[in-house]
Amino acid sequence: MRYRRLGRTNLQVSELSFGAARGASTQPAEFARTLHAVLGAGINLIDTAPGYDGGQCERALGDVLGGQGDVVLETKYCPYDSYLPSAVYNGSPAALTASVEESLRRMKRGHLDILLGHGLRSVATLDRFMTDGCYDAMVRLQAAGKVRFLGISELSEADGTHEVLRRTVPGGAFDVVMLTLNFLLQTAAKDILPLCQQHDVGTVVMMPLNQASKESGLVSVAAARELVRRHITAGHLPAISPFTDPTLFDFLAPYSVPEAALRYVLAHPVSSCCVGMQSPDRLADNLRAVDPPYLDDARLEHLRQLFGGMRRQVF
Ligand SMILES: NC(=O)c1ccc[n+]([C@@H]2O[C@H](COP(=O)([O-])OP(=O)(O)OC[C@H]3O[C@@H](n4cnc5c(N)ncnc54)[C@H](OP(=O)(O)O)[C@@H]3O)[C@@H](O)[C@H]2O)c1
* Number of domains making up the chain: 1
Q: How close is the Cα of 6 to the center of ligand 1, in Å? A: 21
Residue 178 makes CB contacts below 8 A (sequence gap 6+) with: 47, 74, 116, 151, 152, 153, 154, 204, 205, 206, 274
Q: How close is the Cα of 29 to the center of ligand 1, in Å? A: 19
CA dist., res. 279 & res. 33, Å (int):
7
Q: How close is the Cα of 231 to the center of ligand 1, in Å? A: 20
Q: Ligand 1: list residues with CB < 6 Å.
A: 19, 21, 47, 118-119, 153, 155, 178, 206-212, 219, 258, 274-279, 282, 285-286
Task: Answer whether residue 186 is part of any domain.
Answer: yes
Looking from the CA of residue 156, the nearest atom of ligand 1 is: 1
Distance, C-alpha 284 to centroid of its chain = 20
> How far lies 306's CA from each of 5, 183, 268, 270, 309, in Å?
31, 9, 18, 22, 8
Would you call 132 helix, strand, or coil by DSSP?
Answer: coil
Provide the pLDDT for residue 151. Answer: 98
Provide the pLDDT for residue 38. Answer: 97
* DSSP secondary structure letter of residue 80: B
Position 216, amino acid: S
Provide the pLDDT for residue 289. Answer: 85
CB 258 within 8 A of CB 223: no
> pLDDT (tens digit, 0 to 9) for every residue of the chain, 315 residues total?
999 999 999 999 999 999 999 999 999 999 999 999 999 999 999 999 999 999 999 999 999 998 777 899 999 999 999 999 999 999 999 999 999 999 999 999 999 999 999 999 999 999 999 999 999 999 999 999 999 999 999 999 999 999 999 999 999 999 999 999 999 999 999 989 999 999 999 999 999 999 999 999 999 999 999 999 999 999 999 999 999 999 999 999 999 999 999 999 999 999 999 999 999 999 999 999 888 989 999 999 999 999 999 999 999
Cis status of the peptide bond prior to 280, with omega within 30 of 0: no
Q: How close is the Cα of 224 to the center of ligand 1, in Å? A: 14
CB 9 within 8 A of CB 140: no
Q: How close is the Cα of 110 to the center of ligand 1, in Å? A: 28
CA dist., res. 116 & res. 307, Å (int):
29
CA dist., res. 218 & res. 276, Å (int):
12
Residue nearest ligand 1's atom 44 by CA:
19
Looking from the CA of residue 276, the nearest atom of ligand 1 is: 15
Provide the pLDDT for residue 249. Answer: 98
Provide the pLDDT for residue 186. Answer: 98
Task: Answer whether residue 175 is part of any domain.
Answer: yes
Q: Which domain holds residue 155?
A: 11-211+270-281
CA dist., res. 15 & res. 275, Å (int):
11
Q: What is the CATH number of the domain that holds 175?
A: 3.20.20.100
- Is the whole-model pTM more than 0.75? yes
Q: How close is the Cα of 206 to the center of ligand 1, in Å? A: 8
Provide the pLDDT for residue 69. Answer: 74
Mutate to test the pocket of ligand 1, among 53, 207, 221, 255 (most ligand atoms within 8 A of CB): 207
Provide the pLDDT for residue 276. Answer: 96
Task: Answer whether residue 288 is part of any domain.
Answer: no
Task: Answer whether residue 64 is part of any domain.
Answer: yes
CA dist., res. 209 & res. 274, Å (int):
10
Provide the pLDDT for residue 290. Answer: 85
Task: Answer whether residue 3 is part of any domain.
Answer: no
